[in-house]
Chains A and B, each alone.
Chain A
C-alpha cells in the first residue's frame, strides 16, 4: 500500500517533469532511474537496496550534487518480476527520459533489464547481480557494470583456509538453482586450484528438508571440508541433520543464509564454528564504512545489510565516473567506469573490459561465541578461525 502510494507520487512527479519544457540536459536535477523489488519475494532485500540509493542521493546532494546539479532518484516497483522490470526500464528511458540508470535487485531481474539498457545504450551499474553469465554473455554487453563478487567466489575462502591448514579432501553439496550451482562450481574449481581432492558432490532440489541419505553418503567418504552452496532454509536443515547423524568435517561452510542473525537464533550453539561467506560486513575496515553504518541506522531505523551497502556504493561509483567524465554521456561514462579503480565502503571496485568485477573480495566469517567474526582473507581478518571444528557434543 505504502509503496503504491509512493509510486503514484513518483509517477506524478515524472509526468510533470516530462511535461515541463526542460531540455533534459544542463539544468534542473540529474534524474537517476531504477526499478526495484519493493514488493514480492525480494521485497526485504530490494527495500534495503532502495535505502542505499536514497542515502547516496542524500550524501551526493549534501556535497553539492553532481556536475553542479542536484541528484534525484526516480524509482518504480517491479514486484520482484523480471518482466515488469523490463517494462519499467523501457518507461524510464523512453517516457521519463531519465539522465542515468541504476540497476535493479537480483540476478534474474538484472539479466532481463540489461537487454533494455543495452538496446538504448544506457550505462547501468548493477550493484546486486552476482551471476557471471550476465556479464559474460555473447555477444558481450557493453554498458553493464558489476559491483559485487561473483557467485563462483563464495567458497574460495573456505577452501583456501583449509588448504593452508593441510586439509586434503572436500565435499560440495548445493541446491539445484542458478546461483547455488555457480557457487558449487566455483568451490570445485578452487579446490582443484589448491590441489584438494573433491571426494563427493551432489545437488538437491529446492525445498528439500530431509538430507539423511545425502549425509549418510557424505559421512562414508569422511571429507575434511564440507562446502554447502545453500540459501537459508536448507542451510538450517542441513546443519541440524549433520548433528543428528554426527557428520563432523573439520571445516563446514555455507554460502547464503549463514550470515543472517536468524541463522544463529535458529540453530543456537549448533551454529558455532560454522563458516559463511559474505559480500560485506559493517565491521570491515573499508574507508567510510563505520560512518555509513551509523548514518544508515539513524536514517532508516535498522541496520544495513550488504544489499544496502552495495546499493550505496554502486550509486557512488556511477557518480564518480560521471564526475570524471564531466558529462552524462553514456559512452564517456562507460570509458571512465572501465578505467576506474575505487575504494568504497563496500570494498574495492575494478572491472575487466566486460564490466565484470575483479577487485571486490568476498570475506569469510565464522560464528564464534554468538558473534560472526571475519576470519578470511588474512588482511581483513579480525581473529583466527577456531580450527578444527570439535565434535557436536562439545559446542
Chain B
C-alpha cells in the first residue's frame, strides 16, 4: 500500500502509511494497541476506503474495488474477533468461501447440499480433516470453543484459495500447544507459496514465522526490517514501553 491515510472524524488513524510485501513473503505488522493494524487490514480488504493513498495488488490499483472482488483476486483474511457464521455448520462455513474461486451465477447455483459425494462438500470436508477438525464438520459454528473457531476460520480463509492471506491476531488466546499447531499449519501454508501478512502481539510467534516486520505507532510506520533488528530499535522500545524520560 502506498501513502495511505484514513481519519475518523478528527482522529487520524493512519497517516501516509506505505509498505510493500513481496510474493511469498511472510510479513508481520506489529505495534501497540490502537496503532492502526486492524485498520490496515480493513483497508486492504475494502471494509474501509482510505481518505488518500492507494492499495495495489500485483501492480493493479484496487483502492476502490469492493471487498467481494478482492477475495476473488486472491486476498483472504481472518478476523481478530472471529466472524464465523453462527447459523451455518462448520462445513458450510468452509463452503461459503469456495464461492471466491467459482463466482457468478454458475458458482452460486452449484448444488452443495446432498451427500458426501458432492465435490464441494468433499473438498471442504477434506480441508477440515487435514486440519484435524473433521469431527466438528456437522456442528453449528456458533457454539464451538474459541480455539476451535479460530482454526476453522483459517481453514475457511484457505478454502478461498488465496495468494495473500491476512491474519489478524491468529495466536491470540491460544494455549502454547494450540499456538504450536497453528505455527505448523502456517508454515505449511507459507511453503505452498501463499504470502502471509500477520498482525500479532506474541513476539515469539512472530519471530519464528515471519521474516520481516513493520512496526506501527499512531498510524505511522516507525520501523521496518528483520525481527532482531527491529527489536533493538529505540523508537520501537519507546512505543511499547514509553520513553525512558517518562519512566524517570
A binds B: no
Which residues of A come within 8 Å of B, CB atoms? none
Residues of B near any A CB (own CB < 8 A): none
